[in-house]
Amino acid sequence: MQKIRAAITAVGGYVPEYILNNAELETMMDTTDEWIQTRTGIRERRILKGEGKGSSDMAVAAVNVLLAKKGLDPKDIEMVICATTTPDMQFPATANVICDKTGMTNAWGYDVNAACSGFIFALTIGAQFIETGRHKRVIVVGVDKMSSIMNYEDRKTSIIFGDGGGAVLLEPSEDGDGIIDSVLRTDGSGRVHLHQKAGGSVKPASIETVMNKEHYVYQEGQAVFKFAVKNMADVAAEIMERNNLTADDVHWLVPHQANKRIITATAERMKLPAEKVMMNIEKFGNTTNGTLPLCLWEWEDKLRKGDNIILAAFGGGFTWGSTYIRWAYDGSKA
């Protein structure tokens, strides 16, 4: 019997309207547009404003784009996996909230927390449910409201992050195109360099943790940078090698958007020219779980059936990974 393969058959995305540009950051902290652009490649990022708005609201907008594009009834969806580091609340899972807000009442689901690699991890998990024949329509979301855990007094960290997210629909492939392979890695010893100090079971929220600003992202930028440059490039090269892909065979690299210099180093390692690299970091910054689906959403109309696409990410944990996809349809923005 031929193996069932999972294919992405539609993409939706959403970024909030509010633009936080480098000039505004200059009024908030001791930084300059020149420093931020040179060190990161970021000009501006989006921020979700409005009381009571969370990651689920951006995910709902992205999912609705996708459902409308495919003309699907929300009740047709069987499963939703949401990759996020900024869930609406500790529990229940944001996936549940998304299902409720969109009317996907026949779906079950849960959240995946793998920081910036979450979308790749969730995509791999979702694909398994299609490959085993268990489900026919699975939605994988990658979304984050990073502004909710950002200390805008910390100029080394806050300048790279933004809000946004996207969603993809997975269905059984008709002809073998789809998600071909994944390499996924974790190294928990890396947690010291990038984490949130309080709010979990080790250090529950208290007046003290709030006063000490321990609910924000703590990042040792240089240490993370070194691991990210090496591991993201290694894993992308590894997936090319084990699938016998040369640089000429690869149509697109979809890299996590944390820092332009990390993206460039990965592309150089893969020997890919800049025009094959999806990059929107200059306008969205690092949306954590949102970066990869947002790239796919923006580039969807340029993607052609049969294109070889490599996804690569690195994030807190540490977590990192790469996925090889043979794209299953001619893209359109409609």
Catalytic residues, by residue number, are 116, 256, 286
For the CB of residue 286, give the shortest distance to ligand UT7 in the complex, in Å: 5
Per CB under 6 A, 222 contacts ligand UT7: yes
The region of 46-54, 156-164, 172-180, 241-249 touching ligand UT7 under the rule CB under 6 A is 156-164
Q: In what order do the strands lie in the sheet with 319-326?
A: 178-186, 319-326, 308-315, 252-255
**Residue among 87 and 118 whose Cβ is closer to ligand UT7:** 118
Position among 9, 40, 86, 113 found at the interface with ligand UT7 (CB under 6 A): 40
**Residue among 9 and 157 whose Cβ is closer to ligand UT7:** 157
Distances (CA, A) of 101 to 66, 77, 95, 152, 207: 15, 14, 10, 31, 33
For the CB of residue 262, give the shortest distance to ligand UT7 in the complex, in Å: 6
Per CB under 6 A, 35 contacts ligand UT7: yes
320 within 8 A of 274, measured Cβ to Cβ: no
The region of 35-43, 64-72, 178-186, 245-253 touching ligand UT7 under the rule CB under 6 A is 35-43
Position among 84, 286, 289, 319 found at the interface with ligand UT7 (CB under 6 A): 286
266 within 8 A of 236, measured Cβ to Cβ: yes
Position among 9, 113, 231, 259 found at the interface with ligand UT7 (CB under 6 A): 259
Per CB under 6 A, 294 contacts ligand UT7: no
The residue to which tokens 């390499």 are assigned: 183
For the CB of residue 311, give the shortest distance to ligand UT7 in the complex, in Å: 15
Positions in 88-147 near ligand UT7 (CB under 6 A): 116
SS3 231: helix
Per CB under 6 A, 155 contacts ligand UT7: yes
Q: DSSP for 139-178?
A: EEEEEEEGGGG--TT-TTTGGGB-EEEEEEEEEE-SSS-E
Positions in 12-31 near ligand UT7 (CB under 6 A): 31
Distances (CA, A) of 104 to 28, 139, 144, 164, 284: 41, 10, 21, 21, 28
Per CB under 6 A, 39 contacts ligand UT7: yes
Distances (CA, A) of 169 to 78, 174, 234: 11, 14, 28
Per CB under 6 A, 240 contacts ligand UT7: no
How many Cβ atoms are within 10 Å of 38's Cβ, its own excluded?
11
314 within 8 A of 320, measured Cβ to Cβ: yes
**CA 83 – CA 141 distance, rounded (Å):** 6
**Closest-approach residue to ligand UT7 (CB):** 221
189 within 8 A of 222, measured Cβ to Cβ: no
For the CB of residue 47, give the shortest distance to ligand UT7 in the complex, in Å: 17
Per CB under 6 A, 221 contacts ligand UT7: yes
Per CB under 6 A, 331 contacts ligand UT7: no
183 within 8 A of 165, measured Cβ to Cβ: no
For the CB of residue 324, give the shortest distance to ligand UT7 in the complex, in Å: 21
For the CB of residue 136, give the shortest distance to ligand UT7 in the complex, in Å: 33
For the CB of residue 120, give the shortest distance to ligand UT7 in the complex, in Å: 13
- Paired strand residues for 46: 19
Phi and psi at 167, nearest 5°, equal: -145, 145
- DSSP type of residue 286: B
Residues making contact with ligand UT7 (CB under 6 A): 31, 35-36, 39-40, 116, 155-156, 159-160, 221-222, 224-225, 228, 258-259, 262, 286, 314-315
